[in-house]
Structure 1
Protein backbone atom coordinates (compact mmCIF):
# COMPACT_ATOMS: atom_id res chain seq x y z
CA UNK A 1 0.00 0.00 0.00
CA UNK A 2 2.84 2.41 0.89
CA UNK A 3 4.63 1.65 -2.38
CA UNK A 4 1.47 2.37 -4.35
CA UNK A 5 0.89 5.65 -2.47
CA UNK A 6 4.44 6.78 -3.23
CA UNK A 7 3.97 5.91 -6.88
CA UNK A 8 0.75 7.93 -7.06
CA UNK A 9 2.43 10.86 -5.31
CA UNK A 10 5.31 10.72 -7.76
CA UNK A 11 2.88 10.74 -10.67
CA UNK A 12 1.10 13.81 -9.29
CA UNK A 13 4.40 15.68 -8.81
CA UNK A 14 5.58 14.74 -12.29
CA UNK A 15 2.28 15.87 -13.80
CA UNK A 16 2.42 19.19 -11.93
CA UNK A 17 6.03 19.75 -12.99
CA UNK A 18 5.23 18.99 -16.61
CA UNK A 19 2.22 21.33 -16.50
CA UNK A 20 4.35 24.11 -15.03
CA UNK A 21 7.03 23.60 -17.67
CA UNK A 22 4.39 23.71 -20.40
CA UNK A 23 2.90 26.91 -18.97
CA UNK A 24 6.34 28.54 -19.03
CA UNK A 25 7.13 27.52 -22.60
CA UNK A 26 3.61 28.40 -23.76
CA UNK A 27 4.16 32.11 -23.02
CA UNK A 28 3.91 33.94 -26.38
CA UNK A 29 7.16 35.95 -26.08
CA UNK A 30 9.21 34.33 -23.32
CA UNK A 31 11.43 36.51 -21.11
CA UNK A 32 11.96 39.31 -23.65
CA UNK A 33 10.68 40.52 -27.00
CA UNK A 34 12.23 42.42 -29.90
CA UNK A 35 10.57 45.72 -30.81
CA UNK A 36 9.11 45.75 -34.33
CA UNK A 37 8.39 48.79 -36.55
CA UNK A 38 5.23 50.58 -35.44
CA UNK A 39 5.17 48.84 -32.05
CA UNK A 40 3.59 50.52 -29.03
CA UNK A 41 3.39 49.44 -25.41
CA UNK A 42 -0.17 48.36 -26.11
CA UNK A 43 0.71 46.23 -29.15
CA UNK A 44 3.58 44.51 -27.32
CA UNK A 45 1.41 43.88 -24.27
CA UNK A 46 -1.29 42.36 -26.47
CA UNK A 47 1.16 40.26 -28.50
CA UNK A 48 2.94 38.92 -25.42
CA UNK A 49 -0.09 38.57 -23.11
CA UNK A 50 1.32 40.90 -20.44
CA UNK A 51 0.29 44.26 -19.04
CA UNK A 52 1.73 47.59 -20.13
CA UNK A 53 2.53 48.22 -16.47
CA UNK A 54 4.74 45.13 -16.33
CA UNK A 55 6.68 46.32 -19.39
CA UNK A 56 7.23 49.73 -17.81
CA UNK A 57 8.28 48.25 -14.47
CA UNK A 58 10.65 45.76 -16.08
CA UNK A 59 12.27 48.47 -18.26
CA UNK A 60 12.88 51.57 -16.12
CA UNK A 61 14.29 53.61 -19.03
CA UNK A 62 11.05 53.27 -20.99
CA UNK A 63 8.47 55.90 -20.05
CA UNK A 64 6.20 55.53 -23.07
CA UNK A 65 5.81 54.05 -26.54
CA UNK A 66 8.01 56.76 -28.10
CA UNK A 67 10.98 55.39 -26.11
CA UNK A 68 10.76 52.03 -27.88
CA UNK A 69 13.53 51.47 -30.42
CA UNK A 70 13.09 49.13 -33.38
CA UNK A 71 15.31 46.07 -32.85
CA UNK A 72 15.60 46.71 -29.10
CA UNK A 73 15.05 43.81 -26.70
CA UNK A 74 12.39 44.62 -24.11
CA UNK A 75 12.35 42.63 -20.89
CA UNK A 76 9.13 40.92 -19.81
CA UNK A 77 10.38 39.36 -16.58
CA UNK A 78 9.09 42.00 -14.18
CA UNK A 79 12.09 41.56 -11.89
CA UNK A 80 12.30 45.30 -11.33
CA UNK A 81 8.85 45.49 -9.70
CA UNK A 82 9.93 45.22 -6.08
CA UNK A 83 13.12 47.23 -6.52
CA UNK A 84 11.34 50.04 -8.34
CA UNK A 85 8.60 50.16 -5.72
CA UNK A 86 11.19 50.41 -2.94
CA UNK A 87 13.12 53.06 -4.85
CA UNK A 88 9.93 55.07 -5.44
CA UNK A 89 9.02 55.00 -1.75
CA UNK A 90 12.54 55.96 -0.74
CA UNK A 91 12.65 58.67 -3.40
CA UNK A 92 9.39 60.22 -2.20
CA UNK A 93 10.75 60.38 1.33
CA UNK A 94 14.05 61.89 0.23
CA UNK A 95 12.27 64.36 -2.03
CA UNK A 96 10.13 65.64 0.81
CA UNK A 97 13.17 65.96 3.07
CA UNK A 98 15.11 67.73 0.31
CA UNK A 99 12.24 70.18 -0.25
CA UNK A 100 12.20 71.09 3.43
CA UNK A 101 15.97 71.54 3.63
CA UNK A 102 16.22 73.13 0.19
CA UNK A 103 13.74 75.89 0.94
CA UNK A 104 15.71 76.86 4.04
CA UNK A 105 19.05 76.73 2.21
CA UNK A 106 17.71 78.68 -0.76
CA UNK A 107 16.41 81.42 1.50
CA UNK A 108 19.76 81.66 3.30
CA UNK A 109 21.82 81.64 0.09
CA UNK A 110 19.65 84.25 -1.62
CA UNK A 111 19.89 86.49 1.43
CA UNK A 112 23.67 86.03 1.61
CA UNK A 113 24.17 86.85 -2.08
CA UNK A 114 21.85 89.82 -1.83
CA UNK A 115 24.03 91.21 0.97
CA UNK A 116 27.21 90.55 -1.08
CA UNK A 117 26.62 91.80 -4.65
CA UNK A 118 30.34 91.63 -5.53
CA UNK A 119 30.43 87.91 -4.72
CA UNK A 120 27.34 87.35 -6.87
CA UNK A 121 29.07 89.13 -9.78
CA UNK A 122 32.22 87.01 -9.33
CA UNK A 123 30.16 83.80 -9.42
CA UNK A 124 28.48 84.91 -12.65
CA UNK A 125 31.85 85.69 -14.24
CA UNK A 126 33.20 82.29 -13.19
CA UNK A 127 30.20 80.57 -14.75
CA UNK A 128 30.82 82.43 -18.01
CA UNK A 129 34.47 81.32 -18.08
CA UNK A 130 33.42 77.71 -17.47
CA UNK A 131 30.96 77.79 -20.37
CA UNK A 132 27.85 77.81 -18.17
CA UNK A 133 24.80 79.95 -18.91
CA UNK A 134 22.44 81.60 -16.45
CA UNK A 135 19.56 79.70 -18.03
CA UNK A 136 19.82 77.30 -20.94
CA UNK A 137 17.29 77.84 -23.70
CA UNK A 138 14.62 75.18 -24.14
CA UNK A 139 15.63 72.35 -26.46
CA UNK A 140 14.00 72.50 -29.91
CA UNK A 141 14.23 70.45 -33.10
CA UNK A 142 13.12 71.74 -36.51
CA UNK A 143 13.08 70.30 -40.04
CA UNK A 144 13.80 71.86 -43.41
CA UNK A 145 11.58 71.26 -45.28
CA UNK A 146 9.03 70.98 -42.49
CA UNK A 147 6.97 68.38 -44.38
CA UNK A 148 9.39 66.31 -46.49
CA UNK A 149 8.33 63.51 -48.82
CA UNK A 150 9.35 59.86 -48.39
CA UNK A 151 12.90 59.29 -49.61
CA UNK A 152 13.73 63.02 -49.47
CA UNK A 153 16.71 64.54 -47.68
CA UNK A 154 15.76 66.71 -44.71
CA UNK A 155 17.96 69.01 -42.64
CA UNK A 156 17.52 68.41 -38.91
CA UNK A 157 18.46 71.40 -36.76
CA UNK A 158 18.41 71.47 -32.96
CA UNK A 159 19.32 73.92 -30.20
CA UNK A 160 19.43 73.77 -26.42
CA UNK A 161 20.85 70.23 -26.33
CA UNK A 162 23.51 68.88 -23.94
CA UNK A 163 26.89 70.09 -25.12
CA UNK A 164 29.36 67.91 -27.04
CA UNK A 165 27.40 64.68 -26.65
CA UNK A 166 26.82 61.71 -28.96
CA UNK A 167 23.17 61.49 -30.01
CA UNK A 168 20.84 59.34 -32.09
CA UNK A 169 18.53 60.78 -34.72
CA UNK A 170 15.43 58.61 -34.98
CA UNK A 171 12.15 58.56 -36.82
CA UNK A 172 8.81 56.82 -36.59
CA UNK A 173 5.12 57.21 -36.00
CA UNK A 174 4.23 59.56 -33.14
CA UNK A 175 3.89 57.71 -29.81
CA UNK A 176 5.28 54.51 -31.34
CA UNK A 177 8.64 52.76 -31.70
CA UNK A 178 11.34 54.73 -33.51
CA UNK A 179 14.03 53.52 -35.92
CA UNK A 180 17.55 54.93 -35.91
CA UNK A 181 18.20 57.12 -38.95
CA UNK A 182 21.69 58.39 -38.12
CA UNK A 183 24.21 59.13 -35.38
CA UNK A 184 25.63 62.58 -34.69
CA UNK A 185 27.31 64.72 -32.04
CA UNK A 186 26.20 68.03 -30.61
CA UNK A 187 28.49 71.04 -30.80
CA UNK A 188 30.23 72.61 -27.77
CA UNK A 189 27.35 75.12 -27.86
CA UNK A 190 24.69 72.41 -27.63
CA UNK A 191 23.44 72.71 -31.22
CA UNK A 192 23.06 70.15 -34.00
CA UNK A 193 22.58 70.20 -37.75
CA UNK A 194 22.48 67.07 -39.88
CA UNK A 195 21.19 66.09 -43.33
CA UNK A 196 19.09 62.92 -43.09
CA UNK A 197 17.72 60.87 -45.96
CA UNK A 198 14.27 59.58 -45.06
CA UNK A 199 13.23 56.00 -45.84
CA UNK A 200 11.30 55.67 -49.10
CA UNK A 201 8.65 53.61 -47.31
CA UNK A 202 7.67 55.69 -44.30
CA UNK A 203 5.57 53.42 -42.07
CA UNK A 204 2.56 55.61 -41.34
CA UNK A 205 0.49 58.63 -42.37
CA UNK A 206 2.22 60.77 -39.73
CA UNK A 207 5.98 60.75 -39.08
CA UNK A 208 8.12 62.33 -36.39
CA UNK A 209 11.87 62.84 -36.13
CA UNK A 210 13.59 63.00 -32.76
CA UNK A 211 17.05 63.62 -31.32
CA UNK A 212 17.88 61.59 -28.22
CA UNK A 213 20.78 60.44 -26.07
CA UNK A 214 22.36 57.07 -26.75
CA UNK A 215 21.29 55.75 -23.35
CA UNK A 216 17.70 56.93 -23.77
CA UNK A 217 17.80 59.29 -20.78
CA UNK A 218 16.40 62.26 -22.77
CA UNK A 219 14.84 63.06 -26.13
CA UNK A 220 13.63 66.09 -28.07
CA UNK A 221 11.05 65.68 -30.83
CA UNK A 222 10.37 67.77 -33.92
CA UNK A 223 6.73 68.46 -34.80
CA UNK A 224 5.15 65.49 -36.58
CA UNK A 225 4.32 65.94 -40.26
CA UNK A 226 1.84 64.31 -42.61
CA UNK A 227 3.37 61.87 -45.07
CA UNK A 228 2.52 62.62 -48.70
CA UNK A 229 2.54 59.59 -50.99
Structure 2
Protein backbone atom coordinates (compact mmCIF):
# COMPACT_ATOMS: atom_id res chain seq x y z
CA UNK A 1 0.00 0.00 0.00
CA UNK A 2 1.58 3.28 -1.08
CA UNK A 3 2.37 5.81 1.65
CA UNK A 4 0.80 9.30 1.38
CA UNK A 5 3.25 12.12 0.64
CA UNK A 6 4.49 14.12 3.59
CA UNK A 7 3.04 17.62 3.92
CA UNK A 8 5.48 20.46 4.53
CA UNK A 9 5.04 22.53 7.59
CA UNK A 10 3.40 25.95 7.02
CA UNK A 11 5.99 27.69 9.09
CA UNK A 12 8.85 26.05 7.25
CA UNK A 13 7.54 26.71 3.76
CA UNK A 14 6.45 30.44 3.95
CA UNK A 15 8.73 33.29 2.75
CA UNK A 16 8.52 37.17 2.80
CA UNK A 17 6.39 39.32 5.13
CA UNK A 18 2.78 39.27 5.95
CA UNK A 19 0.48 42.20 5.15
CA UNK A 20 0.37 43.22 8.82
CA UNK A 21 4.18 43.33 9.04
CA UNK A 22 4.38 45.51 5.92
CA UNK A 23 1.81 47.93 7.34
CA UNK A 24 3.73 48.19 10.63
CA UNK A 25 7.03 48.82 8.78
CA UNK A 26 5.43 51.51 6.63
CA UNK A 27 3.93 53.21 9.68
CA UNK A 28 7.30 53.25 11.50
CA UNK A 29 9.08 54.57 8.37
CA UNK A 30 6.50 57.32 7.93
CA UNK A 31 6.86 58.32 11.58
CA UNK A 32 10.65 58.48 11.31
CA UNK A 33 10.48 60.53 8.10
CA UNK A 34 8.05 62.95 9.72
CA UNK A 35 10.33 63.42 12.72
CA UNK A 36 13.40 63.91 10.53
CA UNK A 37 11.64 66.43 8.28
CA UNK A 38 10.40 68.35 11.31
CA UNK A 39 13.86 68.47 12.86
CA UNK A 40 15.40 69.57 9.55
CA UNK A 41 12.82 72.34 9.18
CA UNK A 42 13.48 73.50 12.75
CA UNK A 43 17.24 73.59 12.15
CA UNK A 44 16.77 75.63 8.97
CA UNK A 45 14.51 78.09 10.80
CA UNK A 46 17.06 78.49 13.61
CA UNK A 47 19.87 79.08 11.11
CA UNK A 48 17.80 81.67 9.26
CA UNK A 49 16.90 83.45 12.50
CA UNK A 50 20.51 83.51 13.70
CA UNK A 51 21.74 84.78 10.33
CA UNK A 52 19.15 87.57 10.35
CA UNK A 53 20.05 88.57 13.91
CA UNK A 54 23.75 88.63 13.02
CA UNK A 55 23.08 90.82 9.98
CA UNK A 56 20.90 93.18 11.99
CA UNK A 57 23.48 93.34 14.79
CA UNK A 58 26.32 94.09 12.37
CA UNK A 59 24.22 96.73 10.62
CA UNK A 60 23.32 98.37 13.95
CA UNK A 61 26.94 98.39 15.15
CA UNK A 62 28.14 99.85 11.84
CA UNK A 63 25.47 102.58 11.92
CA UNK A 64 26.32 103.40 15.54
CA UNK A 65 30.01 103.69 14.65
CA UNK A 66 29.16 106.01 11.74
CA UNK A 67 27.01 108.09 14.09
CA UNK A 68 29.88 108.52 16.58
CA UNK A 69 32.25 109.37 13.72
CA UNK A 70 30.01 112.14 12.40
CA UNK A 71 29.23 113.64 15.80
CA UNK A 72 32.83 113.42 16.97
CA UNK A 73 33.96 115.44 13.97
CA UNK A 74 31.59 118.40 14.34
CA UNK A 75 33.64 121.55 13.85
CA UNK A 76 33.15 124.54 16.14
CA UNK A 77 32.70 127.61 13.96
CA UNK A 78 33.52 131.23 14.50
CA UNK A 79 30.91 133.87 15.11
CA UNK A 80 31.29 135.23 11.57
CA UNK A 81 30.58 131.85 9.93
CA UNK A 82 27.35 131.45 7.97
CA UNK A 83 27.19 127.66 8.39
CA UNK A 84 25.63 127.63 11.84
CA UNK A 85 24.70 124.48 13.74
CA UNK A 86 20.92 124.10 13.76
CA UNK A 87 19.07 121.16 15.27
CA UNK A 88 15.73 120.01 16.64
CA UNK A 89 14.17 116.71 17.69
CA UNK A 90 13.93 115.45 14.10
CA UNK A 91 17.45 116.21 12.94
CA UNK A 92 20.28 118.69 12.61
CA UNK A 93 22.69 120.16 10.07
CA UNK A 94 26.30 121.05 10.71
CA UNK A 95 29.85 120.87 9.44
CA UNK A 96 31.90 117.78 10.15
CA UNK A 97 35.52 116.90 9.59
CA UNK A 98 34.71 113.18 9.51
CA UNK A 99 32.11 112.62 6.79
CA UNK A 100 31.24 109.17 5.53
CA UNK A 101 33.74 109.13 2.72
CA UNK A 102 36.39 106.74 1.55
CA UNK A 103 38.83 109.52 0.71
CA UNK A 104 40.58 111.75 3.22
CA UNK A 105 38.97 115.11 3.91
CA UNK A 106 41.00 118.22 4.68
CA UNK A 107 38.11 120.69 5.03
CA UNK A 108 34.79 120.57 6.89
CA UNK A 109 31.86 119.23 4.90
CA UNK A 110 28.22 120.20 5.32
CA UNK A 111 26.06 117.27 6.38
CA UNK A 112 22.72 116.55 7.98
CA UNK A 113 21.10 113.74 9.96
CA UNK A 114 17.33 113.46 10.03
CA UNK A 115 14.61 111.08 11.19
CA UNK A 116 12.03 110.44 8.46
CA UNK A 117 9.35 107.91 7.56
CA UNK A 118 9.87 105.76 4.49
CA UNK A 119 7.20 104.36 2.21
CA UNK A 120 6.71 101.32 4.47
CA UNK A 121 6.15 103.46 7.56
CA UNK A 122 9.50 102.57 9.12
CA UNK A 123 11.49 105.23 10.93
CA UNK A 124 14.74 105.87 9.06
CA UNK A 125 17.90 107.74 9.98
CA UNK A 126 19.05 109.51 6.81
CA UNK A 127 22.47 110.98 6.13
CA UNK A 128 22.85 113.69 3.49
CA UNK A 129 26.07 115.34 2.34
CA UNK A 130 27.34 116.60 -1.04
CA UNK A 131 24.72 114.95 -3.29
CA UNK A 132 24.85 111.79 -1.15
CA UNK A 133 21.78 110.40 0.57
CA UNK A 134 22.09 107.20 2.58
CA UNK A 135 19.90 105.33 5.04
CA UNK A 136 22.08 104.62 8.06
CA UNK A 137 19.49 102.70 10.10
CA UNK A 138 15.76 101.97 10.29
CA UNK A 139 13.31 100.85 12.97
CA UNK A 140 9.82 99.37 12.68
CA UNK A 141 6.91 100.78 14.71
CA UNK A 142 9.21 103.27 16.41
CA UNK A 143 9.55 106.95 17.17
CA UNK A 144 12.77 108.86 17.68
CA UNK A 145 14.18 112.19 18.74
CA UNK A 146 17.52 113.95 19.10
CA UNK A 147 18.66 115.37 22.43
CA UNK A 148 21.41 117.99 22.63
CA UNK A 149 23.56 118.18 25.74
CA UNK A 150 25.20 121.34 27.03
CA UNK A 151 28.53 121.47 28.86
CA UNK A 152 26.59 121.23 32.12
CA UNK A 153 24.77 118.11 30.86
CA UNK A 154 21.41 119.85 30.43
CA UNK A 155 19.27 118.15 27.75
CA UNK A 156 17.77 120.43 25.11
CA UNK A 157 15.18 119.58 22.46
CA UNK A 158 16.61 122.09 19.97
CA UNK A 159 19.86 123.94 19.35
CA UNK A 160 20.57 127.16 17.51
CA UNK A 161 24.19 128.23 17.27
CA UNK A 162 23.15 131.80 16.49
CA UNK A 163 21.22 132.05 19.75
CA UNK A 164 23.72 130.16 21.94
CA UNK A 165 26.90 132.08 21.37
CA UNK A 166 28.56 130.76 24.51
CA UNK A 167 28.53 127.18 23.15
CA UNK A 168 28.93 126.96 19.41
CA UNK A 169 28.08 123.24 19.20
CA UNK A 170 26.60 120.83 21.76
CA UNK A 171 28.87 118.85 24.00
CA UNK A 172 27.06 115.63 23.05
CA UNK A 173 24.14 114.53 20.89
CA UNK A 174 21.91 111.63 21.89
CA UNK A 175 19.52 109.71 19.65
CA UNK A 176 16.63 108.10 21.54
CA UNK A 177 14.49 105.43 19.83
CA UNK A 178 11.32 104.02 21.43
CA UNK A 179 8.32 102.04 20.27
CA UNK A 180 5.16 103.85 19.30
CA UNK A 181 2.99 104.48 22.33
CA UNK A 182 5.79 103.54 24.74
CA UNK A 183 8.14 106.01 26.39
CA UNK A 184 10.69 103.38 27.38
CA UNK A 185 13.68 103.68 24.99
CA UNK A 186 14.61 100.61 23.01
CA UNK A 187 17.84 102.14 21.67
CA UNK A 188 20.00 105.06 22.79
CA UNK A 189 22.95 106.28 20.73
CA UNK A 190 25.22 108.70 22.56
CA UNK A 191 28.11 110.51 20.89
CA UNK A 192 30.35 113.22 22.31
CA UNK A 193 31.55 116.18 20.27
CA UNK A 194 35.32 116.41 20.53
CA UNK A 195 36.83 119.76 21.44
CA UNK A 196 39.38 119.53 18.62
CA UNK A 197 38.07 117.07 16.01
CA UNK A 198 40.89 117.83 13.57
CA UNK A 199 43.44 116.23 15.91
CA UNK A 200 43.56 112.65 17.11
CA UNK A 201 42.24 112.14 20.62
CA UNK A 202 42.69 108.40 20.76
CA UNK A 203 44.31 107.24 23.96
CA UNK A 204 47.41 105.31 23.07
CA UNK A 205 48.75 102.47 25.16
CA UNK A 206 51.64 103.47 27.44
CA UNK A 207 55.04 103.01 25.85
CA UNK A 208 57.74 101.59 28.03
CA UNK A 209 61.13 103.21 27.44
CA UNK A 210 64.13 100.96 26.94
CA UNK A 211 65.27 99.67 30.29
CA UNK A 212 62.37 101.29 32.16
CA UNK A 213 60.24 98.48 33.48
CA UNK A 214 58.09 100.59 35.75
CA UNK A 215 58.08 103.93 33.94
CA UNK A 216 55.76 104.87 31.09
CA UNK A 217 55.53 107.77 28.70
CA UNK A 218 52.23 109.62 28.31
CA UNK A 219 50.88 110.00 24.80
CA UNK A 220 51.00 113.48 23.27
CA UNK A 221 49.62 114.80 19.94
CA UNK A 222 52.05 114.98 17.06
CA UNK A 223 52.22 118.77 17.31
CA UNK A 224 53.70 118.62 20.80
CA UNK A 225 57.47 118.76 21.05
CA UNK A 226 59.00 116.09 23.20
CA UNK A 227 62.67 116.12 24.13
CA UNK A 228 64.02 112.70 24.90
CA UNK A 229 67.43 112.26 26.48
CA UNK A 230 69.70 109.84 24.72
CA UNK A 231 71.08 107.07 26.91
CA UNK A 232 74.58 107.63 28.22
CA UNK A 233 77.26 105.45 26.61
CA UNK A 234 78.47 102.48 28.56
CA UNK A 235 81.74 103.06 30.37
CA UNK A 236 83.65 100.08 31.82
CA UNK A 237 84.88 100.46 35.38
CA UNK A 238 88.48 101.57 35.75
CA UNK A 239 90.88 99.03 37.13
CA UNK A 240 92.66 99.66 40.41
TM-score range, shorter chain: under 0.3
Compare the two structures and name the one with the higher helix fraction: 1
The one of the two structures with greater contact order (alpha-carbon pairs below 8 A, sep at least 6) is 1
Larger Rg: 2
* TM-score (ref. length: structure 1): 0.27
